[in-house]
């Protein structure tokens, strides 16, 4: 700024001298214009630099303010970190105390469990001993029952041997009844064919003959007779019936079997009496 001012004074001085040289005056005017232009340009540059300086100062102030805020924030964070560290240490200490208490309780519980296992083993041994005793008693009972059954079986066989001649004699006396039964089953088989339905029906009726519900189960020799008649019936079917002829189940067969059964029961009652 001082240089610009001094240069302006010099120009004014030369103008004031009043030289008569016109060319010099023109030169002075030209120099004056150039100086004015230069001064204006320098002034503009200075103004721009002054604005830039102000802008830099404002930025510096903003940065300083931000630094202050960051310092304050860092201080706050440091205080919070210290508080958190203190709380963390307290929590860790409390957790350690709880872990120690839990370990003590666990050890105590483990001792109780071991004692319970010992008691269970003793109880299991007592139960096993009781089971062994019960098994021995059961085996002894089974053995006695088997011996009793064998004795009863031997007695029954001995009784059968004693009664067999009498049974054979009674069967011999009743042989005509057996022959009549065999003839009846043979006639029925020939008359009504060899269908499974008819065969099962005949077997059922023959079973009713020897096990009538009005009289209960008949004597042992009649069971022998039933077995003999059934064997004769099946042997006849095997020998004689080669063609499977289906015939309808009629009431005549039922009446014939029932009539023979009634006659057999009457004769059976007379024989027993």
CA 198/CA 258 separation, integer angstroms: 15
Taking only the tens place, the pLDDT of each residue in 14-54 is: 555 554 557 777 877 877 888 888 878 888 888 888 888 88
CA 144/CA 121 separation, integer angstroms: 34
| Best CA proximity match to 202, nearest among 176, 234, 171 | 234
> What distances in angstroms separate CA 8 from CA 3, 15, 23, 117, 153, one per listed residue?
9, 11, 20, 118, 162
pLDDT at position 241 is: 38
Cβ neighbours, 10 Å, residue 149: 10
> What is the model's pTM?
0.27
Residue owning tokens 């208490």: 101
pLDDT bucket at 239, cuts 50 / 70 / 90: very low
pLDDT bucket at 249, cuts 50 / 70 / 90: very low
Residue owning tokens 């085996």: 139
Taking only the tens place, the pLDDT of each residue in 46-55 is: 888 888 888 8
The ranges assigned to domains in the chain are: 2-67, 174-272
Residue 136 pLDDT more than 70?
yes
């Amino acid at each position: 700024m001082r240089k610009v001012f001094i240069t302006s004074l010099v120009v004014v001085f030369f103008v004031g001298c009043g030289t008569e040289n016109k060319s010099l005056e023109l030169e002075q005017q030209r120099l004056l214009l150039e100086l004015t232009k230069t001064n204006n340009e320098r002034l503009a540059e200075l103004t721009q630099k002054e604005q830039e300086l102000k802008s830099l100062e404002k930025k510096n102030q903003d940065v300083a303010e931000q630094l202050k805020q960051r310092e304050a924030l860092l201080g706050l964070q440091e205080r919070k970190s210290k508080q958190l560290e203190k709380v963390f240490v307290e929590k860790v200490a409390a957790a350690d105390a709880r872990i120690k208490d839990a370990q003590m309780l666990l050890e105590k519980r483990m001792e109780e469990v071991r004692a319970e296992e010992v008691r269970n083993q003793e109880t299991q041994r007592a139960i096993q001993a009781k089971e062994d005793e019960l098994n021995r008693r059961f085996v002894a009972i089974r053995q006695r029952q088997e011996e009793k059954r064998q004795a009863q079986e031997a007695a029954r066989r001995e009784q059968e041997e004693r009664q067999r001649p009498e049974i054979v004699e009674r069967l011999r006396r009743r042989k005509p009844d057996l022959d009549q039964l065999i003839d009846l089953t043979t006639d029925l088989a020939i008359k009504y064919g060899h269908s499974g339905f008819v065969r099962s029906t005949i077997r059922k009726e023959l079973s009713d003959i020897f096990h009538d519900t009005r009289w209960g189960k008949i004597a042992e020799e009649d069971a022998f007779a039933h077995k003999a008649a059934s064997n004769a019936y099946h042997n006849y079917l095997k020998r004689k019936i080669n063609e499977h002829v289906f015939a309808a189940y009629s009431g005549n067969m039922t009446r014939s079997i029932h009539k023979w059964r009634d006659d057999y029961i009457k004769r059976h009652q007379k024989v027993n009496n």
